[in-house]
Structure 1
Amino acid sequence: MRKISFKLGLLFFVFVLGIETVLFASLYVTLVNARIHEEFEQLLARGNNHRDVLEKSYHLSTLEHVVMMESEAETDVVITDAKGNILYFSDRILPFAKKLIPHTDVRHIPHGGMVVQNNWKKQAYIATASPIRMDGKTKGYVYMFQRTASIQNMISKLKHHFLVVGIVSVFLTIMTIFFLSRVITIPLIRMKQATEKLSKGDFSVRLQVKGEDELAQLGKAIQTLATDLEYLKKERNEFLASISHELRTPLTYVKGYADIARRPNIAEEERANYLSIIYEEAEHMQKLVKDLFELAKMDQHSFHIEKQPTLLCLFLKKIYEKMAPAFQTKQMALIYRCEENVTVHIDRQRFEQVMMNLLDNALKYSHQGSTVSIDGRMEKKNVMIMISDEGIGIPEADLPHIFERFYRVDKSRSRTGGGTGLGLAIAKEIVEAHGGSIHAISQFGKGTSMIITLPRSE
């Protein structure tokens, strides 16, 4: 639990910290450059203002006034003649000005002025120069100076602010990532615990899933898996119990009657009767094993359907002709109707197995003198086959379960009650393997209709 939270949180932290570092560095550099550029612009603008005043009134009083103004400001001024000789200056700036001015190439200074000293990191001052021009000639230059200590102090404060904001941002990032990693990993941890329970055979897993994102979909998939496995476990247990029950009864009969038939003092007629019962029970077990084998092949997806184009009416007619004698023996009527001889793609042998099973049930659970009908017709884009009887019907409560394995409406499971309880389950599997569906409509005491729907072949 901690490993995934730590790894996910660390991964998020590294990515977010990297992004924040790049953004903060870019912002810091941009802001510092903008502030320094602003300081240069302000100093140059101040020098240009003094230059403009001197160009309008170049007198001694004006020169002194300019110097007096700068003596009260944070900046300093030096006024030179056209050859670079210092005429007026602020007292504190003279040593630095004497070093800078002789090395300044005034020939390339435009009328708008320019920065002549911009090394604010190593020098004590930054400086600008603005030429004084009168009657088309250069009268002199106004040099403006500003201590770099103020700029460095501003940069230091800016660094401090960025450092504080950076520490707060990292702290908030850690808290946010911790919260988000917990929010993301808690569902994953619950899913991990759920899958561990599933691996141990505990299918009573219940995940509270909210939302429609990928994690929610994964949680729903695990919950669905748990529900399906729980259902399969229940079905398997019921299936094994049903097989045990189905085999126990005929085996009991076989063993019991075999013991009696082995007695030397019973009549041959009675022995023959017992052997006949043993034979019937052996046939019952053989049919049960055969049906189980069919279901096993279906479950393992090794049940092959070989479809062939088949004329529906011709196929149903052959089924009718094969089953009609059995109905006549029981004094029941079997009716065959087919409206349109459409073509369907079916595995004839497998589908005959379905039809024979349904008709056998209709024969078994219908009264003497009643009628069973086979109907084939088109319904929209599908082919519908319906087998209807006038038999005992199926109770409404049992109707949804009749296609389940070993399910019987007759809960007594009497030996004379008929088949193995697998016939309808096999029929459903075969029909669905053809891309169709099967369902039942029944009214208890009045009869049942089994309806098969198949896609029509083009």
Structure 2
Amino acid sequence: MKKISLKVGFLVFISIFIIDTVLFFFLHNGIIHSRVDEELMSLKARGNNHRDVLEESFKEETLQHIVLMESQSDTDVVITDQHGKVIASSDTIDDEIIQELSKKILSPPRDGMVLEDNWKQEQYLSTVSPFFINAKNNGYVYMFKRTDKVQELISRLNEHFFLAGLLTILFMIITILILSKVLTTPLIKMKEATKKLSRGDFTVTLPRLGNDELGELGQGIQLLAKDLNYIKQERNEFLASISHELRTPLTYIKGYADISRRKNISEEERATYLNIIYEEADRISLLVKDLFDLAKFDKNSFTIMKEKINLSEMLQAIYQKISPAFINRNVQLEMHCSSKIFIDADPVRFEQVLYNLLDNALKYSEAESKTTVEVKKINQNIHIYIKDQGKGIPKEDLPYIFGRFYRVDKSRSRALGGTGLGLAIVKEIIEAHGGTISVESSLNNGTCFEIIIKENKE
């Protein structure tokens, strides 16, 4: 994770560094150009002031006064006639410079003009302002400022920029380190959590990491850990349940097979033991069949062959087959369904669902109670209710009754039979048909299963 921290920090640093460099470059150039422009404007303003004085009083004393003023400042003045001859100067300025500058003067505006602004290569910055005596151009006022003064100013400005750049880089590094730590710490925690998950340790707890994408990822890992832990527990319970369900009949088979092999038992006893062996083998066969069905559901290879079914006719056929078992237990069975209700379903699988639910109702019903199958059409859906008046299911068991090998009877009484997979298979079949199944129950008041499936309108 240090690698990603360094990578993130490096990329952020490079990005900010490039942005800051570009901004510093434009800011630096902008300040320099502004400062040079200010110097030129100041220089031209001084020249215009001298021009105004000369136009009011053009005499020797005025010229000397102007020269004296500029000799005490960091600028120089040169005053020439209209032909370029120097008539006053505050410093010794090379005549060649004056001649070169005079060539640039064609018709300078009264407000003056900039003659030289190249502060990097030239010796002076310069401006010129024409002055007029009696409405005639009588000469020019040249103002000069040595560029080394400007360069010193810019050099100090560069030092400030350099110091500001170093401080910016320092603060940027500190900020990036803090941000990298803030950003990568959740990733490090999630990496450690996923390592624990890969080792099979699902007791992962991640703190709340906020409402952003990282927070959602952390919640996803937490949920994954919870689901994997649940699946692990379910798998362990599943394997334990299979072991229990197989161990008991196998113990019976082995035990009674050993007894049947004895020579000192009667044929009647041997037949009894062989019948028990047959029943237990049949029990194992039923368990394997149920497991095979569930395995096909898990692999999504369980096929449903739907066709249009008259639900009333199916229920009447089921009634004919199962009613003797209800009569034998002295339990009343009633079915109420309109002959005009049709559904799209696999007849074999849907019949398996109804048989399973009715068989459960019979197992947990007392004598002289009643079991009712009622079919209603509600909002274009078919609702099938299988209601008994049996023992009922404790409230704490209701959320789990569709689980594999889950039994309300924790003792796994053999008197009630079954593999504990029936309701799990029922739920899978109903959902494969695009329907839902739910249950309501209370102790000693019976249980009601509700199946909701779409109606066939054709």
Same fold at TM > 0.5: yes
Partners of 2:70 and 2:171 lie apart in 1 by: 47
Question: Contact 2:50–2:66 at 8 Å: present in 1 too?
Answer: yes
1:368-426 residue CA offsets vs partner (Å, 9 max, x unmatched): 22211111112345331110011122222322221111111212212222100000111
Residue 70 of structure 1 aligns with which residue?
A: 70
Cα distance in 1 between the residues matched to 2:406 and 2:58: 119
> 5 Å matches for 1:145-224?
145-224=144-223
Residue 65 to residue 293, structure 1, CA distance change in 2 (3 Å): same
Q: 2:93 aligned to 92, 95, 106, which one?
A: 95
Report whether the alignment pairs 1:257 with 2:256. yes
Amino acid at match of 1:95: I
**Contact 1:340–1:377 under 8 Å retained in 2:** no
Farther-moved stretch of structure 1 (269-278 vs 308-317): 308-317
Question: 1:132, 1:138 within 8 Å by CA — same for their partners in 2?
Answer: yes
Matched, 1:51 2:48: no
Moved more, 22-31 or 394-403: 394-403
Aligned residue number for residue 383 of structure 1 = 382
Shift of 1:285: 0.5
3-state SS of paired residue (1:431): helix
Give RMSD over aligned pairs.
1.8
Q: Secondary structure at the match of 2:366?
A: coil
Secondary structure (helix, strand or coil) at the match of 1:58 reads coil
Runs of 5+ consecutive residues of structure 1 not aligned to the other structure: none
Task: Point out the more displaced range, 253-262 or 319-328.
Answer: 319-328
- Identify the residue that residue 440 of structure 2 maps to in structure 1: 441
Whether 1:229 aligns to 2:239 is: no
Distance of 1:82 and 1:164 partners within structure 2? 50
1:240 matched to which residue of 2? Answer: 239
Q: Residue 342 of structure 1: CA displacement?
A: 4.2
Structure 1 residues 197-248: Cα deviation after superposition (integer angstroms, max 9, x where no partner): 1111111111112211111111111111111111111111111111000001
Instruction: State which drifts further: 135-144 or 376-385.
Output: 376-385
Alignment of 1:57-136 (within 5 A): 57-90=57-90, 92=91, 94-96=92-94, 98-103=95-100, 104-105=102-103, 106-136=105-135
Q: Which residue of 1 aligns with 2:8?
A: 8
TM-fit CA distance, 1:340:
8.0
**2:238·2:404 contact (CA, 8 Å) conserved in 1?**
yes
Q: What amino acid does structure 1 have at the position aligned with 2:221?
A: I
Q: 1:35 to 1:415 in 2, by over 3 A?
A: same
Q: Report the alpha carbon displacement of residue 456 of structure 1 after superposing the two structures with TM.
A: 4.6
Structure 1 residues 55 and 367: CA distance shift in structure 2, 3 A: same
Contact 2:127 2:144 in 1 (8 A): yes
Identity %: 53
- TM-aligned CA distance change 1:61 to 1:309, over 3 Å: farther
In structure 1, distance between residues paired with 2:341 and 2:46: 102
Question: Is the Cα contact below 8 Å between 2:375 and 2:385 reproduced in 1?
Answer: yes
Cα separation, 1, equivalents of 2:271 and 2:81: 148
The alpha-carbon deviation at position 135 of structure 1 amounts to 4.6
Correspondence 1:432 to 2:420: no
SS state of the match for residue 396, structure 2? coil
TM-score (norm 2): 0.94
The answer (yes or no) to whether the contact 1:340–1:378 under 8 Å persists in 2 is no
Query: What amino acid sits opposite 1:362 in the alignment?
Result: A
Distance 1:340 1:210 in 2: 59
TM-score (norm 1): 0.94
How far does the alpha carbon of each residue in 1:284-309 deviate from its partner, in whole angstroms, 9 at most, with x for none? 11110011111111122222233334
Tell me the secondary structure at the aligned position of residue 451 of structure 1.
strand
